[in-house]
């Protein structure tokens, strides 16, 4: 089966000192390309904003979980 997207989703935990308190910065990098121009147009036109909102909501939920620990 041929994939519509080519890319990767990378997570990185970076230790850091915040005002004398140890902490961790969580970095998420999501990179992809859409080789098919028709699929790319459809994604940009219909799904890009929804995808961005969904990813932001997931990161907010993850932050809430991490802050409780």
The set of residues, in sequence order, having a beta carbon less than 8 Å from that of 17 and lying 6+ positions away, is 23
Residues 39/4, Cβ–Cβ less than 8 Å:
yes
Q: What is the pLDDT of residues 37-58, one digit of tens each?
A: 999 999 999 999 998 999 899 8
Model pLDDT, residue 27: 86
Is the model's pTM score more than 0.85? Answer: no
DSSP one-letter code for 36: S
| pLDDT for the residue 26 | 84
pLDDT above 60 for 1: no
| Structure confidence by residue, pLDDT tens digits, 8-22 | 989 898 999 988 888
pLDDT of residue 50: 93
Chain-centre distance of CA 60, in angstroms?
Answer: 11
């Amino acid at each position: 089966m041929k994939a519509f997207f080519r890319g990767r989703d990378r997570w990185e935990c970076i230790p850091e000192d915040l005002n004398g308190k140890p902490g961790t910065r969580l970095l998420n990098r999501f990179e992809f390309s859409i080789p098919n121009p028709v699929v790319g147009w459809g994604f940009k036109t219909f799904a890009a904003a929804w995808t961005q909102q969904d990813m932001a909501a997931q990161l907010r939920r993850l932050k809430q979980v991490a802050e409780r620990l």
